[in-house]
């Protein structure tokens, strides 16, 4: 159980870093915001990773979460989330102990 919590924390930290680096809303690296600026969003994205098979599916979820946290105009179109989704999927697939294994990885 402890290993799963540590794996989940590592994945959470990685998702926060990915979001900060891409800065989809312009409140992180763009404005020199704190490195954990996207922590709350990462916290609502992680539970939704389970069962994700493609970057497109995850991009839709990311955009939905940013619309929920901000608004549709700030969130922008789904297509802007594709590179972010691809990076998050790589991180999640490399961290199956976190409980976010995609359908493809269950094989």
pLDDT one-digit tens code per residue, 52-103: 989 999 999 999 999 999 999 999 999 999 999 999 999 999 876 655 544 4
CATH number at residue 64: 1.10.340
Contact 25, 79 (CB under 8 A): no
Q: Is residue 53 part of a domain?
A: yes
Question: Mean pLDDT across the stretch 45-57?
Answer: 93
Q: Is residue 107 part of a domain?
A: no
Contact 76, 63 (CB under 8 A): yes
82-93 helix and 55-69 helix, angle to the nearest 10 degrees: 110
Domain count, the chain: 1
pLDDT, tens only, 90-107:
999 987 665 554 444 433
Q: What angle do CA 7, 90, 23 make, to 5 degrees?
A: 95
Question: Mean pLDDT across the stretch 5-26?
Answer: 93
């Amino acid at each position: 159980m402890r290993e799963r919590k540590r794996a989940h924390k590592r994945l959470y930290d990685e998702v926060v870093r990915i979001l900060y680096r891409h800065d989809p809303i312009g409140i992180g690296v763009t404005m020199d915001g704190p490195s954990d600026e996207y922590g709350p969003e990462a916290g609502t994205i992680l539970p939704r990773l389970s069962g994700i098979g493609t970057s497109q599916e995850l991009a839709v979820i990311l955009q939905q979460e940013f619309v929920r946290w901000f608004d549709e105009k700030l969130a922008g179109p789904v297509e802007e989330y594709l590179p972010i989704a691809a990076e998050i999927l790589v991180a999640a697939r490399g961290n199956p102990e976190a409980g976010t294994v995609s359908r493809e990885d269950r094989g």
